[in-house]
Amino acid sequence: MSKTTLPWADEIRKRSESLLALRRDFHKHPELSMRETRTAEVIAERLRAAGLEVRTGLAGTGVVGVLHGEKPGPVVAWRADIDALPLDEVPDVPFKSTAPGVMHACGHDGHTAIAITLAELLAARRSELPGTAVFLFQPGEEVFGGAKPMIEAGALENPHVEQVYGLHLTTQSPAGVVSVKPGPSMASADFFNVEIRGMGGHGAFPHLSRDPITVAAHIVVGMQALVSREVPAQATAVLTVGQIESGTKHNIIPQRAWLRGSLRTYDNAVRAQLLERLGTFASRIAEAYRAEAKLQFEGEGTSPVINPADRSAFVQRCMLDELGQAQVAEGKAVMASDDMALFLEARPGCYFRVGIGPGDREPAPHHNPHFYMDEAGLPAGLRVALNVMLHALSGEG
């Protein structure tokens, strides 16, 4: 394996300003999930200008760019997500969001800028390039709404993609420090709503009513026992009830109560087990209190991100080769989720992390209105991405 030495290093340097400009442009114009129209237009325009074949409108605002190298080789995809979040940006940066209530607070502006620059770099050297590079710009990652319809729309066919790679920026690592976690790397996520129907009445006479708030409380506590008593100790699951709604006054027992929560696991079998149990569990607890509970899932959720061992080892070699030991950290699994999982279920590949955190202080978490990235991490991400694509397209690894 060889480093992306000259002329690549030179070209990366030349394009680093345009990489940052592009990221700042997306940052300034964030768009919510499945409504990324301007973002998609910029992507398509840049890819066309670089000479790629471009398909738009996949899953609504998804874009696919295909770059045919002039030498034979495999078809390798690079995936980037492009959506922003419903937050009001706090940091007073010169490229602060101009869309009220919308903010790139997960780093997807950086993912998009890196992927476009990667496509431009490879396109500029098409004559030396083996294989076919496919660039997947996926909408709606934050709502787990884009990956599935994009795959169904044929994003991985014509040409038939053989491997798929991607990266997520993280403020949890110092800028430029990269890592890959083999096996389960990110959790599955499923969102559920529970409606509890009781019977309202006077707070002084609970025996004449059926109190949905007491039922809700028992369901919340009971769900924790579902994890500790039914999930094998070696496996992990997190059940969080994030919202409870009911009632109007101290002394009125309400008619209904609502819970909203999420379930996360690293294992498809544990996920299936809990998805199956949750509904019955909630309704049986309610029955014990003479009430009714109905649990419904919101959307389809997403499975865990699982990096195959050999693809992870390959990416790790590319990282060490490109950045050296000092910038490669040990990969850790996180309970966050990402629908890159669906691409990795469809094709072998790997999803790795690139640090954009401040080295000297506690960073604001992703999805926080104070989120801020150290852009010094972007060129490091681009270098690893380029190294991975060059070697994968050459059939190495």
Q: How far is the CB of 366 from Zn ion (least distance, A)?
A: 6
Can residue 167 be called a binding residue for Zn ion (CB under 5 A)?
no
Give me the phi and psi of 383, to 5 degrees please: -65, -45
Q: Which is nearer to Zn ion, 55 or 148 (CB)?
A: 148
User: Is residue 83 annotated as a catalytic residue, yes or no?
Assistant: yes
Alpha helices in the chain, H assignment, sequence order = 8-28, 37-49, 108-124, 147-152, 212-230, 268-288, 309-323, 340-346, 377-393
d(C-alpha 284, C-alpha 379), whole Å = 54
Q: How far is the CB of 338 from Zn ion (least distance, A)?
A: 6
Q: How far is the CB of 13 from Zn ion (least distance, A)?
A: 27
Q: How far is the CB of 363 from Zn ion (least distance, A)?
A: 14
Residue in 31, 83, 109, 339 annotated catalytic: 83
Options 33-41, 48-56, 99-107, 239-247: segment touching Zn ion (CB under 5 A): 99-107
CA distances from 163 to 156, 385, 395 (A): 9, 14, 11
Can residue 364 be called a binding residue for Zn ion (CB under 5 A)?
no
| Token code pair at residue 338 | 């990402």
Residue 352: enclosing H or E segment and its boundaries?
strand 349-357
User: Is residue 141 annotated as a catalytic residue, yes or no?
Assistant: yes
| Token code pair at residue 227 | 């994890």
Q: How far is the CB of 85 from Zn ion (least distance, A)?
A: 7
Options 33-41, 100-108, 145-153, 194-202: segment touching Zn ion (CB under 5 A): 100-108
CA distances from 369 to 57, 337, 357 (A): 30, 19, 15
Options 28-36, 41-49, 103-111, 129-137: segment touching Zn ion (CB under 5 A): 103-111
From the DSSP assignment, how many helices (H) and strands (E) are in the chain? 9, 16
Can residue 106 be called a binding residue for Zn ion (CB under 5 A)?
yes
Q: Which is nearer to Zn ion, 106 or 323 (CB)?
A: 106
Q: Which residue is nearest to Zn ion (CB)?
A: 106
Residues that bind Zn ion (CB under 5 A): 106
What residues are labeled active site? 83, 141
